[in-house]
Amino acid sequence: MKVIALFALVAFAFALSWPKEYYLHGTMSMPYVNLTIPVAVDEKNGQQMVDIYDGKQKTFFVPNTGLYTSYIAKDHRECTIATDGEQVPVLPDMTLFKKLDGTVRVNGVVCDHYRYQPTQYQRICHYDLYVNHQTQAPVQFKMLGQNLIWGSHYDIYVLDVDTFVAGFSKRLDFDLPSECQNVHTEEPVSGAYAMLQSFFSTPIASETGDAAFDSFAAEHGRHYSASEAAHRRAVFEHNHAYILATNAMAERNDPTALVLKVNEHADKTLKEVLRGSTGHNARVRDETLCNHPDYTYSAARNTPASVDWRVDGVVSPRVPDQAFCGSCWTFGATGAIEGRIAVAKSKKTGAPVEAVVLSKQAIVDCFWDTTNLGCMGGTGEAAFHWMWSNKIALPTEVEYPYLGVNDYCHFDTSASAAPTIDGCAMISAKDVKGLKQAIAEGPVSVAIAVPMSFVFYDHGIFKDNSCGQEHADLEHAVLAVGYGSLNGKDFAIVRNSWSTHWGNNGYIYMDITDDYNNCGIATEAKFPTVSV
């Protein structure tokens, strides 16, 4: 998938070198994710201000102080600081690039073509920069890489420019806003700004000597500073060794054997993965959030041997990606609602009904309280309570698309005559049999603990006895869409929100043999009730 950004073409010095002060504006989209991100950058005297999504998130780099991030918190703005944060190096280091012969037309502009092509072990990777032939202003920056050890797909990053002004223009306000005055809330760099840092960082000039690490960095477009490269290599080597050791124990020709793979998280610690790619805020179990009694296993119910709600479109075929926002809880909640509505309509009409994808961003923006904080996490049962108790009619994904950052609320949250759900029910804690019966009636939102084996899951039936099963252990919200058995092992079919490039096309098969509460899958399960 492409990443796109645009700059305005303005003449500056004839030599291809970048000014120390400039203003830049463009748009960006992430690999794997259908997101378009407007970005603006202003730099002067070592200071930098980065505006993401037209002011929705603003980051200020102050030398010798750190990075201040101002973000929307429902109806006001708040701020955090990362004292060890670094500014985004937006324009590439041209000492690495070689000018190619001739000109090419890019975005309707006749351009000179510069390329940097590292010669690193077992990979193809090149960086292309296109500049206006007459003005030498940047038009497009593109990275294309293919991994030859693990990967089959290309990573493509494209930067296209709509406004670029050499010299300080003060189009962005460098003054720290009021919410960032005297702020003491220390938070590591994360979210959209961390993604921009990864994209814009200068390409590494040479291989590290570790073939696996170099290939990983090429495939995933990793650009490390000299100070960070050694740390990331050490983290990668630890994770890579863990993956190899786990796979060595897998029995050949056993389709249930757990197999892991190197993926985009391989240079991250578990703490970093949890901070950037989950978002379930653990809290004391509160059944009062739902208006129905706990759902408990009953021998009187008919429990089919297997269920898969992906069939007939009850579950949307598009596996979502929460990207750099801790919004997993909204994906688990809306996935359960979408599926339950489709099941109810199908029963009513007697014909298959495909799920209508609902807006996650509407929940991120409009539902806030002390523990439900948009991209900083929340819980599915609290989202259900907000919807049913306030008679909320949730918009569709088309009507209110996903951004991956907090924004102000943009839809009518007043009581509706046709609310999306009319209630919810929690499944009795750790009742795996009850969970299966609930899944037989429709998709269920579940919360789980996340060990490293989950992060690097590829295929097979997943089981990790080391992860916790208690409420406080739960870190990530996902969607249970079915269950079945294979070679004597029972499993739940679970959809993650990390795109199809994670796991088994975005899914994981979690072992629930002998009613095992694997990573707490049945500790905090819940589903909405609907009327159609």
d(CA 134, CA 280): 52
Whether 70 contacts 57, CB under 8 Å:
yes
Other Cβ atoms less than 10 A from the Cβ of 226: the count is: 9
User: Is residue 430 exposed (0-12), middle (13-18) or buried (19+ Cβ within 10 Å)?
Assistant: middle
Q: What pLDDT is attached to residue 195?
A: 64
Q: Which helix (H) or strand (E) holds 233?
A: helix 226-248
Q: Name the least confident of 188-197, 244-253, 319-328.
A: 188-197
Helix or strand or coil: residue 127? strand
In the predicted model, is pLDDT for residue 237 greater than 70? yes
What is the average pLDDT across 198-220?
Answer: 67
Q: Name the least confident of 170-174, 195-199, 430-434, 435-439.
A: 195-199
In the predicted model, is pLDDT for residue 425 greater than 80? yes
Which of 159, 162, 158, 130 has the alpha carbon at shortest distance from 144?
158
Q: What pLDDT is attached to residue 191?
A: 66
Q: What pLDDT is attached to residue 8?
A: 35
Q: What pLDDT is attached to residue 35?
A: 57
Place of tokens 């996935």: 335
Question: What domains sit in the chain, N to C, each tagged with a CATH number?
Answer: 22-200 (2.50.20), 269-529 (3.90.70.10)
In the predicted model, is pLDDT for residue 66 greater than 80? yes
Q: Name the least confident of 6-15, 134-143, 518-527.
A: 6-15
Sign, CA dihedral 385-388-390-395, equals positive
d(CA 144, CA 105): 18
Q: Which helix (H) or strand (E) holds 35?
A: none
Catalytic residues: 328, 476, 496
Q: What DSSP character marks residue 53?
A: T
- Tell how strand 57-62 and strand 47-52 pair up: antiparallel
Residue 94 φ/ψ, nearest 5 degrees? -75, -10
Other Cβ atoms less than 10 A from the Cβ of 108: the count is: 6
Q: What pLDDT is attached to residue 187?
A: 78
Query: What's the residue count for the chain?
Result: 532
Give the mean pLDDT of the chain.
Answer: 85
d(CA 23, CA 40): 7
Whether 84 contacts 66, CB under 8 Å:
yes
Q: What pLDDT is attached to residue 125?
A: 66
Question: Between residues 411 and 24, which one has the greater pLDDT?
Answer: 411
Whether 37 contacts 323, CB under 8 Å:
no
d(CA 141, CA 130): 6
> What tens digit of pLDDT does each residue of 16-36 get?
888 888 887 877 765 544 556
Q: What pLDDT is attached to residue 185?
A: 75
> What tens digit of pLDDT does each residue of 93-149 get?
888 889 999 999 999 999 999 998 765 434 556 788 999 899 888 888 877 654 333
Q: What pLDDT is attached to residue 203?
A: 53
d(CA 54, CA 73): 16
**How far is residue 499 CA from its own chain's centroid?**
8
Place of tokens 């650009």: 223
d(CA 249, CA 253): 12
d(CA 374, CA 179): 18
For 66, 397, 429, 532, the CA distances from 363, given in Å and listed in that order, are 31, 11, 25, 22
Confidence of residue 209 (pLDDT cuts 50, 70, 90): low
What is the average pLDDT across 453-470?
Answer: 96
In the predicted model, is pLDDT for residue 403 greater than 70? yes
Q: What pLDDT is attached to residue 201?
A: 61
In the predicted model, is pLDDT for residue 170 greater than 90? no
Q: What pLDDT is attached to residue 198?
A: 62
Most confident range (mean pLDDT) of 122-126, 256-260, 491-495 is 491-495
d(CA 375, CA 403): 10
User: Is residue 252 exposed (0-12), middle (13-18) or buried (19+ Cβ within 10 Å)?
Assistant: exposed
Q: Name the least confident of 125-129, 350-354, 419-423, 456-460.
A: 125-129
> What tens digit of pLDDT does each residue of 430-446 get?
999 999 999 999 999 99
Question: Between residues 7 and 520, which one has the greater pLDDT?
Answer: 520
Determine what percent of the chain is predicted with pLDDT higher than 90.
53
